[in-house]
Structure 1
Amino acid sequence: MIYLDNAATTPLLPAARAAMERYLGDAYGNPSSLHRLGRDARQAVEAARRFFADWLGVSPRDLAFTSGGTESNNLALYGAYLAQQPRRRHVVTTAVEHHAVLEAVDRLRLFGADVTLVPVDSEGRVHPDDVLRALRPDTAIVSVMFVNNEVGTVEPVAEIARLVKAADPAVVVHSDMVQALPVLRVGLEDIGVDLASFSAHKVHGPKGVGLLYVRSGTPFVALAAGGNQEHRLRAGTESVAGIAGFHAAMAEIASQWDAHRAHLAALRDALWSAVASLNGSYRNSPADAVPSILNVGFRGIRNDILLMRLDLEGVAASAGAACSAGSLEPSHVLRAMGREREARESIRLSFAWQNTMEEIDEAAGVLSKVVGSLRSRFTNS
């Protein structure tokens, strides 16, 4: 199988597996215990925290490990919103956010929230002035993702944060940075956000582990109560093995950062070069998208049929949208970009460290064969 669905999840790096094995075996202590086994576990957790603090340019005390990007997004949005009640009840986000943000924001309506969805342009980009115009005196949170998970657009989060804070310093700015961590070096202090969310399994770490950044002084109510873990930002015994795996995986990527990014860009460019020559092909990802994601479509060919045929031919890809009742829902991202028809024709091809140029060449051949076959079938039917 040629795996080109890395924006969904990535394979576990050997280094991550090796780091986890120790804490799945003899080093099984609870990191809150004071005995040697507990201290060993605590050392692993704090070593990981210090690494990510250094990588992200923040204080270790502002980082909490979670169960993944979805929980990090939920904790950030609920925590910041509830901390500002009843004074501020307005939430601003965008029409192209991941469902982990959109559905969490929608749930905030149960707590009295009024939600504004800011539109995007034809490349999926949020205009900072549109965010600024959406602000109200009672705005509590602005949440804008850093990298779009379907088309790879990089959003101007730093400029948005600067303008929002200039207009109203009390507004809490959050960013879902799950897709940014594998490909962009983000300095959170420089970007100026108050909250940020990350996930391990997008960077060849294990599933079930994430990270939440909460800038010191940010209004925040911890939703998981019952212990002093994670600087009281999230109670509960830490997943020591998962955290160690997250640390090891990101450390390996960081050690080869420039080569890693160049490799992804070469893979993406090679595949697009081959796909662009196919009859009826088009590209939804902007030219300056991150190198890990390529969203393309083929005029007149349904993406659900194309994905099934690719799977039969040994190529794993995605439409970049949730699967419901056995049929693919049209991409809310592409529809927000004004690409209604394309939302039913487009697929997402996403790349990671383990992919090779030989795989890309083979995948391009499969795409050419399958698209040609489907086009011939639909033309003759």
Structure 2
Amino acid sequence: MIYFDNSATTPIFPQALDTYVKTSQRIIGNPSSLHDLGNQANRLLEQARKQIADQLGVQSKEIYFTSGGTEGDNWILKGTALEKKEFGNHLIISSIEHPAVTETAEQLRSLGFDVSVAPVTAEGFVDVEALAGLIRKETILVSVMAVNNEIGSIQPIKEISDLLENYPKIHFHVDAVQAITKVETNQWLTSRVDFASFSAHKFHGPRGAGFVFWRDGRKLAPLMNGGGQEKNHRSGTENVPAIVSMARALRLSFERKAEKPEHVRLLKNYLLDALESYDKVTLFSKMEEFAPHILCFSLKGIRGEVLVHALEEKQIYTSTTSACSSKKQVESGTLHAMNVPSQLATSAIRISLDESNTMAEIEQFLIVFHQLYQKFEKIN
């Protein structure tokens, strides 16, 4: 089996799974309980918080645990809207955000908030000048992802940060789900970023766990109310085994990247060079200003799901666009925003790599792809 769908989810590290199992078996207390079993759980929880904060170079008190990236995105957008509604009702997102952001923004629009959408260039990068033109006195939030989940374009977070230095009251949120451990942290976690959302299963942690970076001094209304966990900001009994496992997975992911800093980029570069030689292949993910782990391309005349299933028959696993949209069989929202023709957009597939992938897997993929290319060429 060749697994090239790491942007959808990554296999959990054996060490992280071992941590999850042992914590589940040995730490039975609720972190909110007053007795010693509760204290044990709480100590582990705070150790995990510190480990994650240290990896990002932030303060422990700026890390809040969630169920994943979708909850984080929802919390930050809705929490900002609720917290700052007396100061303004205007939010700005980009046209290539994940559905967790776009659909949340749409819900807020239905509740009376005003949402503007910043356009992107033909290459898939947010137009900072156009975004600047959307800001007005009622603006309370700007939300832009760090790395696009469909084509891998690294968004100009530093330039947007510079722009927002002139608007200190506007919350700046970055969906960093596809960026963490793949792109250098200082490219997307600037001193102007107020909030960032993360998901454990994107860096070999368990599903159903995530966290939010919340810069100290900013205000956000709770999305979850109840028992007052996470300093009364995110109620619900913390999933201690998953959180501890997530912290270990994050550390291991950073270590693996440090051991092989150019490995994934070399794999992608090899793939790009090979795919460029095919007349009917259109590449959307280049090397410059694109994340090293995502490669999106179209095979003219062949719908994306057809190619994905043809590869699956050879035990090669890819996806069409994002995992959240692939089963709906809709064209890539990112490619649509880039004004890519619909016929080409519906032919797009995504390969997403990881440090565990090998050059031998890349070569095997290219052998199979060449066979499929010739087969589809005869059909067409």
* TM-score normalised by the chain length of structure 1: 0.95
1:4 pairs with 2:4: yes
Taking the TM superposition and a 5 Å limit, the aligned residue runs for 1:268-279 are: 268-279=268-279
Letter in 2 for 1:162: D
Question: Greater CA deviation, 32-41 or 234-243?
Answer: 32-41
Per the alignment, in what secondary structure is the counterpart of residue 328 of structure 1? coil
Match of 2:334 in 1: 333
Letter in 2 for 1:376: K
Match of 2:210 in 1: 210
CA RMSD of aligned residues (A): 1.7
Match of 1:358 in 2: 360
Change (3 A) 1:357 1:189: closer
Change (3 A) 1:287 1:165: same
Match of 2:128 in 1: 128
Change (3 A) 1:191 1:282: farther
Letter in 1 for 2:365: A
In 1, Cα distance between the equivalents of 2:53 and 2:97? 25
C-alpha contact (below 8 Å) 1:306/1:371 kept by paired residues: no
Match of 2:46 in 1: 46
Letter in 2 for 1:175: V
Match of 1:305 in 2: 306
C-alpha contact (below 8 Å) 1:304/1:327 kept by paired residues: no
How far the C-alpha of 1:313 sits from its partner, in A, is: 1.5
Letter in 1 for 2:60: P
Point out where structure 1 has 5 or more consecutive residues left out of the alignment: none
Match of 2:319 in 1: 318
1:225 pairs with 2:243: no
Question: Greater CA deviation, 184-193 or 232-241?
Answer: 184-193
The percentage of aligned residue pairs carrying the same residue is 36
How far the C-alpha of 1:210 sits from its partner, in A, is: 0.7
In 2, Cα distance between the equivalents of 1:293 and 1:189? 20
Question: Greater CA deviation, 50-59 or 255-264?
Answer: 255-264
Letter in 2 for 1:219: K
How far the C-alpha of 1:327 sits from its partner, in A, is: 5.6
Change (3 A) 1:123 1:326: closer
Per the alignment, in what secondary structure is the counterpart of residue 262 of structure 2? helix
C-alpha contact (below 8 Å) 2:149/2:322 kept by paired residues: no
Per the alignment, in what secondary structure is the counterpart of residue 185 of structure 2? coil
Match of 1:174 in 2: 173
Match of 2:34 in 1: 34
Match of 2:295 in 1: 294
Match of 1:183 in 2: 182
How far the C-alpha of 1:326 sits from its partner, in A, is: 6.0
Per the alignment, in what secondary structure is the counterpart of residue 353 of structure 1? coil
In 1, Cα distance between the equivalents of 2:327 and 2:268? 29
1:85 pairs with 2:85: yes
In 1, Cα distance between the equivalents of 2:189 and 2:182? 18
Deviations 1:25-51 (A, max 9, x none): 122211122333222221221111111
Letter in 2 for 1:338: N
Change (3 A) 1:257 1:191: farther
Per the alignment, in what secondary structure is the counterpart of residue 256 of structure 1? helix
Change (3 A) 1:354 1:103: same
In 1, Cα distance between the equivalents of 2:261 and 2:82? 39
Per the alignment, in what secondary structure is the counterpart of residue 190 of structure 1? coil
Question: Greater CA deviation, 212-221 or 173-182?
Answer: 212-221
C-alpha contact (below 8 Å) 2:55/2:251 kept by paired residues: no
How far the C-alpha of 1:189 sits from its partner, in A, is: 6.2
In 1, Cα distance between the equivalents of 2:229 and 2:184? 28
How far the C-alpha of 1:339 sits from its partner, in A, is: 0.8
Letter in 2 for 1:130: A
Deviations 1:84-138 (A, max 9, x none): 1133111101100000100011111133111111110011101221111110110
* TM-score normalised by the chain length of structure 2: 0.95
Match of 2:15 in 1: 15
Change (3 A) 1:189 1:370: closer
How far the C-alpha of 1:82 sits from its partner, in A, is: 0.7
C-alpha contact (below 8 Å) 2:319/2:326 kept by paired residues: no
Question: Greater CA deviation, 318-327 or 226-235?
Answer: 318-327
In 2, Cα distance between the equivalents of 1:45 and 1:262? 33
Change (3 A) 1:259 1:266: farther
Per the alignment, in what secondary structure is the counterpart of residue 85 of structure 1? coil
C-alpha contact (below 8 Å) 2:118/2:131 kept by paired residues: yes
Match of 2:371 in 1: 369
In 2, Cα distance between the equivalents of 1:238 and 1:326? 31
In 2, Cα distance between the equivalents of 1:122 and 1:325? 22
C-alpha contact (below 8 Å) 2:63/2:213 kept by paired residues: yes
How far the C-alpha of 1:165 sits from its partner, in A, is: 2.9
How far the C-alpha of 1:325 sits from its partner, in A, is: 10
Change (3 A) 1:326 1:172: closer
C-alpha contact (below 8 Å) 2:257/2:355 kept by paired residues: no
Question: Greater CA deviation, 318-327 or 205-214?
Answer: 318-327
Letter in 2 for 1:328: Q
1:147 pairs with 2:147: yes
Change (3 A) 1:279 1:190: closer
